[in-house]
Structures are given as C-alpha cells and as structure tokens.
Amino acid sequence: MLVSQLLLPTLRETPAEAEVISHQLMVRAGYIRKAAAGVYTFLPLAWRVIKKIEAIIREEMDRQGGQEIMMPIIQPAELWQESGRWDVYGPELFRLKDRHGRDFCLGPTHEEIITDLVRGEVKSYKQLPLMLYQIQNKYRDERRPRFGLMRGREFIMKDLYSFDRDEEGLDTSYRKMYEAYTRVFLRCGLRFRPVEADSGAIGGNDTHEFMVLADSGEAVVVYCPDHSCGYAANVERAVSPPDPEVVPEPARPAKPVATPGMRTVDEVTAFLGVAPRKLIKTLIYETEKGPVAALVRGDRDVNEIKLKKAVDVISLELAGPEAVERITGSPVGFAGPVGLTGVKMVADREVEVLSNAVTGSNRKDFHLVDVNPGRDFKPELVTDIRLVGAGDPCPGCGTALVEARGIEVGQVFKLGDKYSKVLGATYLDQDGRERPIVMGCYGIGVTRTMAAAIEQNHDQDGIIWPAAIAPFHVIVVPVSARDGEQYAMARRVYRTLQDAGVEVVLDDRDERPGVKFKDADLVGYPVRITVGSKAVASGEVEVRLRRDGTIRMVPEEELVIRLSELLNSEQVIV
C-alpha cells in the first residue's frame, strides 16, 4: 500500500474533546472520526487493527470448540420481559418500536436471544456441551459517553455462551475460556491481570475480569505481589481478613459527649483524641425496600456493590441531607446505630469486634463514646461491606495488597441456571429427566482492546503497536521521493518485503523527511526502514524499531531474514 493512496488524515493538534491518550492518538493518527457522542467511524488503519484482534479471538475460540454464529442486533422486548430484565436493565437500554407499535431494543448483550435459540434446538444431553459465539456491534445508551472507544454507545464485542449438563461441565467450559482469554491478550501483546469481579447486570455466580493495567484505567484493582499466591480482584469484589490488631477492652458505659459542629470522621476523632479506627461510621442509604444504615470503621469506606448484594436491592443511593434528618432525627454527621429504628442495619465484620467505640448519637452536636456492639445496638446483618485497598492483607497469604488501575477488556461469567430456568431452556438427561441447562457467558471488548493497547503502548510521539495487532508491520521511507535512485531503491525494498509476505507501506509522498518520520511515529508502525543517499551508496538501509528507537544498518539482501527476526522479538511484540 502506498501512503499517498491511504485514507490517513493525520493531525498535528490534539482534539480538545479527547480526554485520554488512546482517544487523542486515534484521532490524531487518522484511525477514527466521531459520528456522534460515543459513536465512531473506523478508518482503514483502525479497521485493520480490529480485524487482527478479531482473528486472534476467532482462532482461540475455535481452538476451544467454539462455533461462530451471528445473532440479531434488534431484539424483541418479549424475551427481555420473559427474563425479567426489560425493566431492570435501566436507561442504558436503547428501546424502539416498529411501525406496528411492538417494542424492541438494540442488543447490549445477548443472553436472552441465545437462550431462546438453544431452548428451541437442544433437547438431549447428547447435544451438550455446546459453545456458541459471535463478534458484532453492541449498543448501550451511556449517560456520559467518554474516553473515546473506552466508553462508547456503540462498540464491537465478542460474546461466547457455553451450555453444559451440570456445574462440573460449566467448570470445564469456564476454565477453557479463562485459558483462551489469557492466550488472546498475550497474543495481542498486552500486560494484563485476571481479577475476581462483580457480575453486575449480567448476573450469575463466579466471574473474572481481564484487566489491562494502565494509569488511565477507570477500574481499581488490588493484587497480591507474591506471585506464588496470585490473588487479584476488582475493588468492587476484593476481600481482606478483618484487622487482626483489634484488642478487646473491658466495656465501659456508653455516654453522650458534646461535639459542637463536628461532623466528619477527622473532626470528631481529633476533637475527642481517638483514632479513626475507634469510630463507627453510620451511612444512610435509600433503596426500593426502604432505608439502610451501613456501619463501617471510621478509617474504612463502604463498598456499595457488596452492600447492594447484602441487602438484595436493585437501587442503592446515599441519602441526601433531608432524608438523613428525617430517618435519624439529626443532621448529616451525627447519625449513629444506638436507638436507630425503622432502618435495616448492616454492619461490617470489623465493627462487630470493636469495643468502647465512638458513634453518632442521632442528636445534633453530640456523639456517643464507649459504645459496644451487641450490648448497645444489634445489627440485622453482619457481613463484609468494606472497600478493600492497598496495604490491606491478602486473603490468601496475608501479604499487603498492591493497588493499580486497569481497563476491563474481557470478562467471564458463570451464569448457572439464571437464564435457562426463567426462559425454560432444558434438556433430557440419560434417565429421561428434564434438567435446566447450565450456562456460562464470556465477553471481550474488541474496540476497547484496541484502545487499551494504545493506553499501554505509546510515548510522546505517538502509538507503539505490538506487532501482532499493528495495522502494518513496516513503513519504507525514501528520504526524497524526488531522488530517482532513492525512490527506485525504496520501491525495490517495498516490493521485496511484499513478496515475502511482510505487511508494508511505502511513504511515496512528496513531503519533507521530518513530516514522514513524525507521521510514522504517530501512526505506530513497529519498524521504519529509511532509504537515503547513504543507502543508495552502501546498499545498506536504516532499520529503526519504533518501541525503543534502536537503529541498525541492514544490507538490502538480508532484509527479509532480519525483519523476520525483529518482528518476532520482544523488542517489537511487547
């Protein structure tokens, strides 16, 4: 391909609306153009990257026995109503009506459609296990589309669904996909970590997210630095044993203490001269089932995902000042568990072991001291509701956890019979008994993987593609396209590489060398071959690696062999 014939509209200025580096570079390097908020057109180089990622995914899905299908993007509301998700999914669901007034949605995911397909076609245990997948566009009406391809309203995703006879079969399918995902992201040249995660709106039991580690990631993960342990989790799911350093004390009588204007943990503990870990923080939430009081230590934060699951609610929002005063009888900052009625009280496990603690008194400008759980108040539920962070002990080995940011590029779920039971997807076992099919769900964000690769592989000059997913592997740059000898040699090198199966472009534009070099770095070709007057004289061309900038002189006749070595080396791949 000649650069002069490529649709490659590079820009020198960073677009004002682009917040993260992948968005900035994909616009500047001519990979994408915005059609609407969260909706993008993929230009030729972006589409080549996407096709390469898809090819890797297909190979790994097929290797594990997956069969590719294509399901409709437009889905009938009846199936979503049958599963119970039509009203639950929320405003992210694009809803529409046909000319007859029938309700449909644009597919954000395909559990209903695939389960409906299988319940109509699979009848016997002899047809299981079964793994079906597709790669297609998905649609989610994000409230605030942002970060380019990281959080869009239209995106490309691979979703595979497994169907098994029992939990043991699901374990096997889950392990196959976990291994396949590991190979996919390794082959894409990404640094990633599988972490325990929350299943969210998809539902189900066990689930892992595959996180590309990058400072720009929206998700926070914690992991054990001890490689022999391997624990890692999204903070929404992370657990840690209760603080082992809590020492019980002889209980003293609880009493009120004036704390005028003291509302925050820092203000109250400083005023009373106690450590934040000795304070019980009471947070009031509103849910569709009524108010909930969440109790955690003063130096901890509530994990709202854990709390939501603990009280089994769909909606969970921190109560506003008026609601807090109505529920507790006091302004924000003075709520406490003692004497609190009409509220479901949930305490973190660390709260249960505190003695002589400080709490709010449900009375303005007063707190209680020497409060003892079990004696002075009794929560309805004691469970893990705290947010785990860096420094907390690993639940596996006790080593202090490390925190990092990550970009979720894939997730694997054990759905169990969540959808098969409600939608009636059953099979007859060996004894002729009807049983629900056991399901798993496995997704990879194709376009997000492309963006995540850039977030992890760039410098101040542009993109640094891993070779496996680079749009082209090599760019040949004649220093002067007007110099007949230079251009002839560049054309010869270009054709030789083409004949050898190397993905190569020739920058034949009549531009200054500096412009060509800057564009090459911006676009991110793994290897740049420069043909100048010295190359014409010596027969050696300059080969520069994009990742580390190293330059070597290579005889023209050795180019194919040397490039093959380079394109398979760690300097280019990762």
The C-alpha atoms of residue 405 and residue 217 are separated, in whole angstroms, by: 5
Neighbours of 262 (CB within 10 A): 20
Name the pLDDT band for 566 (thresholds 50, 70, 90). Answer: confident
Q: What is the pLDDT of residues 4-31, one digit of tens each?
A: 999 999 999 888 888 899 999 999 999 9
| Contact status, residue 46 vs residue 53, Cβ threshold 8 Å | no
Q: What is the pLDDT of residues 124-165, one digit of tens each?
A: 999 999 999 999 999 999 988 888 999 999 999 999 999 999
| 460-472: average pLDDT | 96
Q: Which residues contact 198 (CB under 8 A, 6 or more apart)?
A: 207, 234, 236, 237, 305, 309
Q: What is the pLDDT of residues 409-435, one digit of tens each?
A: 999 999 999 999 999 999 999 999 999
Fold observed for domain 255-383? YbaK protein (3.90.960)
Name the pLDDT band for 202 (thresholds 50, 70, 90). Answer: very low
| 537-550: average pLDDT | 94
| 453-465: average pLDDT | 96
Q: What is the pLDDT of residues 59-83, one digit of tens each?
A: 999 999 999 999 999 999 999 999 9
Q: Does residue 198 have a pLDDT over 70?
A: no
Query: Which residue reads 């820092």 in tokens?
Result: 266
Fold observed for domain 3-239+403-454? BirA Bifunctional Protein; domain 2 (3.30.930)
Q: What is the pLDDT of residue 14?
A: 87
The C-alpha atoms of residue 302 and residue 294 are separated, in whole angstroms, by: 7
Domain boundaries, the chain: 3-239+403-454, 255-383, 472-573
Q: What is the pLDDT of residue 201?
A: 47
**Cα-only R_g, the chain:** 29
Residue 153: strand, helix, or coil = coil
What percentage of residues in the chain have a pLDDT greater than 90? 87
| 331-345: average pLDDT | 95
Q: Does residue 519 have a pLDDT over 60?
A: yes
Average pLDDT, the chain: 93
Query: What CATH number is given for 472-573 in this structure?
Result: 3.40.50.800
Name the pLDDT band for 205 (thresholds 50, 70, 90). Answer: low
Name the pLDDT band for 568 (thresholds 50, 70, 90). Answer: confident
Sheet holding 290-297, edge to edge: 316-318, 280-287, 290-297, 344-348, 381-383
| 256-262: average pLDDT | 95
Q: Closest Cα to residue 440, out of 246, 188, 199, 235?
A: 199
